[in-house]
Structure 1
Amino acid sequence: MAWTFTFFTITGFLSGSILYSALLPRLLRRVDIVEESDDHNPGTANVFKLSGPGLGVVCLLLDMAKGFLPVLLALGRVNPYRISFALIMAAPVLGHAFSPLMKGHGGKSIAVSFGVLLALCFRTAMVWYLAAAFLFFSLVLVIQPHSCRVIVSFSCYSLFSLLVVPFHSFVAGGLLISAVVIAKHLSPREFSPSHFQVSLFGRRKRLPKHVS
């Protein structure tokens, strides 16, 4: 049984390490997403911006699939309620975030995280908790900049999962995924708390700065 967990963990990591959002624009459009984007991130958002919505949708689906498929296949071969299943969940996200194909410099892992959780949708509603958090902080209580919105969304999703999800392996895997995504968005270039804004339905109002 141990070798099976190891196999799916390694397979998931290797699957996640294939950065379609960097490879396909370069191969099909001769666009270097990493070099030409403002944040130098090999993610689907930059594909939409620099290569158009068509290729953006393709890369989005592939980034989700590389998290979805390894976890879905593992569900049929291993016991998902063992705590070690958390590593199988986190493996594609880690592969994307620290891709050996880019010398450890990967993407921010949002799409692949949704893919991993979507594979579990018939066993837990965690993917819908994350989607609800993103929608709430994107459309209702709007948080800017994007990096802060991601951090708050994944933090709230993690807290809610801790409270309501009964399966320890899924919760542990979700926490590992959140830790990776939050860490990728905490870089000085991306995370700017001094520009933190909260607004109701997009009516922006900058939070007052602390007065010392």
Structure 2
Amino acid sequence: MRTLEREDKMSSNIKKNSFTNLRDLLMVKKRTAPITFALVVALSLALGACGGMGGEAKADWMALLSQGNEAKAKQDYTAASEHYGKALEAAEKKYGKESGQAATCLGYSAEVYRSLGEWRLAYFAYKRLVPIREKLDPGSRELKDLNKEYAYVKQKIKDYGIKTDDELDKETQKAAVKKPVVEKPKHQKKH
């Protein structure tokens, strides 16, 4: 008898808290999804930041990426690009040159360069980034967006007559992606 009473109480509690239809359930999921995502990202960054506490000499790639994001938020694009470059080096060393981690760093670098109008540097970053993303996630929405951004950068390269890797040696390319020097864009006067 007691078991039946408990089941009845549980059943009534469930009914009180149940969703009236599927739409209500989906609305709850939509509202909690950004919070869940933010918590996962925060936990990932926290764990990445704690990686250096174990006596590691170099900062973890995630910590460097986070520092780059902080600098970018403060509009310190030179510092952001330096942090992203260091994060790229650390990610390549730990996970490989064609890893998702390296692609993430390249993506942030490309975004900063494109925002600053540093078309040559953006070109080199996208040139490396797009093939990695094609291998890791072919047909994805992100890849389609990257291809559009890459095409935009290529068009700017043509528009401004900027030399690319076809005309530059390998050392210049490596230096541009590994240790970029970003200056604020110079505004040209129209005559």
Same fold (TM over 0.5): no
Give the TM-score of the pair, scaled to structure 2: 0.30
By relative contact order (CA 8 Å, sep 6+), the higher-ranking structure is 1
**Higher-helix-fraction structure:** 2
Give the TM-score of the pair, scaled to structure 1: 0.27
**Higher-strand-fraction structure:** 1
